[in-house]
Amino acid sequence: MELKRVSDVVWEVPRTGGMRVPGRIFASDELMEVVLEDRSVEQVANVAHLPGIVEASMAMPDIHWGYGFPIGGVAAMRVSDGVVSPGGVGFDICCGVRLIASSFTEADFEARRDTVMGELDRRIPRGPGKGAIAPGSIVEEVLADGAAAAVRHGYGWPDDLDRCEERGTSKGAKPEEISDKALTRGRDQLGSLGAGNHFLEIQVVDEIVDPGAAEAFGLAEGMVVVMIHCGSRGLGHQTCTDHVRLMGDAMRRHGITVPDRQLACVPIGSDEGASYLGAMAAASNFAWANRHILAHETRQAFATAFGVSDTETGMRLVFDVAHNLAKIETHMIDGASTEVCVHRKGATRAFGPGHPDLPEDLQEWGQPVLVPGSMGTASWVLRGMEGNPAFGSAAHGAGRLMSRKKASRQAPGREVRAELEEAGISVRPLSVGLLSEEAPYAYKDVDVVADVCERANLAARVARVRPLGVVKG
């Protein structure tokens, strides 16, 4: 498709045919070469056809092919006449990343490496099937109240909620909109990691770029931290599946046509739209609680391994952000304050300094933005910036460079594990064979992605972290 260069790291897909707005991709020359290898640019253009979309159909630097929307896609639709699309959220509703600080140093970890990794290996359920830390009896309560329900049942600390996006509870949840099949799939998965690109990673802060922001976030060079990446498991996947099916029929009744059936959508204000948003919020609450419970178990693992209490671990939450949500927000559109439904599919909220939704102690610095690399490379902590050109959004990770199938053909899992161990990264996989699908070579260079985020005014670099050990499904 035709692309027009707007600036050093911004590219435009001009309006053609039924596009209501242009497309806009944030990428360097290096990243754009990769983007053009799949059909994600076409998906950016397809999203631009959706009713009520404003400004542009956008894509973050980690853009790659997805379901309907590209992964890394951002689109805002006017609440007054726009649509909501499950393809703009994804199947893993409220998938996100949580970063936990600690009082331990790299030397501390190295002295107890095998003990720590053994405790995590034993305690963290993972893989595509059943396995949970929390009992299924609290799932209905979690669907209504999210991480707050987990705290009531003894998982984690109450002040953790202050460092969660939405304080760990999505507004407007309607648990009654979650199907029995979705409940059945999720009931035995509350407090589990899942599979694929989900992980629990022990890392060390190896570079501080912004000392002031790092101090505000509670990070220091040499500190051991833990990053957890997971979402709503089978419950969220089934919820998306249910509503994509319902919307396919509903579009005809609402007179909506789209260039790709994977962009199934309905008016935000319709009964079907309200049903999806309520179900999505309930599934989001499952994800907030899921990460909260995993963080609790991680604290227990470290406490046991080091022979201290959980409070003595110093494992405070830095922040928890989602990257698969559609949220009603107010943004300036054409000079007017406008209520829009912002779809972020593989994109992280990145509000800048002074935003009223941020905790008071972060007002000066902006929201922490967590950008994982791969299990063999660094990850980045960024912060939201003023004047963000993408409805307060930034990249959610390095982004895939090759499909899982292609990656698995490059090398067997045992070789990938051996290379990681040789590099000093302990790996505890549920399946050694599947490690090749998530090998470092399967992902883009996270340093380049973080650099583009900063150059595009999406988010600024604060601290770089590198992996010491990883637990995977």
Q: Which of 292, 296, 323, 396 is catalytic?
A: 396
What's the distance, CA 142 to chain centroid?
19
Give burial (CB, 10 Å; 0-12/13-18/19+) of 128. Answer: middle
Q: What is d(CA 199, CA 231) in angstroms, rounded to the nearest whole number?
A: 11
DSSP-derived secondary structure for 348-414: EE---TT-TTS-GGGTTT--EEEE---TTS-EEEEEE-TT-SSSSEEE-SS-BSS-HHHHHHHS-HH
Please tell me whether residue 325 adopts helix, strand or coil conformation: strand
DSSP 164: B
pLDDT for 249 beyond 90: no
The neighbour count for residue 33, using CB atoms within 10 Å, is 10
Q: What residues contact 162, with CB distance under 8 A and at least 6 apart?
A: 359
Mean per-residue pLDDT, 203-231: 98
Encoded tokens for 439 = 């090998």
> Is 396 labeled as catalytic in the residue annotation?
yes
Domains of the chain: 4-401+443-472 (3.90.1860.10)
Chain mean pLDDT for the chain: 97
Nearest by Cα to 305 from 97, 123, 99: 123
- What is the per-residue burial (b if ≥16 Cβ within 10 Å, else e) of 292-327? bbbbbbbbbbbbbbbeeebeebbbbbbbbbbbbbbb
Whole-structure pTM value: 0.97
C-alpha to C-alpha distance for 208 and 193, rounded to whole angstroms: 29
Q: What is the pLDDT of residues 359-368, one digit of tens each?
A: 999 999 999 9
The C-alpha angle with vertex 162 and arms to 156 and 168, in degrees rounded to 5, equals 70
Output the CA–CA distances (angstroms, integers) from residue 43 to 278, 307, 335, 397, in the order listed. 26, 52, 28, 19
Model confidence at 1: pLDDT above 80 = no
pLDDT value at residue 161 = 97
Residue, of 145 and 434, whose pLDDT is higher: 145
Q: Do 450 and 380 contact (CB within 8 A), yes or no? A: yes
- Does the pLDDT at position 160 exceed 80? yes
Task: Give me the numbers of helices (H) and strands (E) for the chain, helices first please.
Answer: 13, 19
In which element (H, E) is residue 74 found? strand 71-78
Residues 406-447 have pLDDT tens digits of 999 999 999 999 999 999 999 999 999 889 999 999 999 999
Encode 2-50 in three state secondary structure: CCEEEECCEEEECCCCCCCCCEEEECCHHHHHHHCCCCHHHHHHHHCCC
Structure confidence at residue 388 as a pLDDT band (50, 70, 90): very high
Question: What's the rounded mean pLDDT across residues 84-96?
Answer: 98
Flag whether pLDDT at 5 surpasses 80.
yes
CA distance 106 to 218: 16
Mean pLDDT of 16-41: 96
Give pLDDT, residue 428. 96
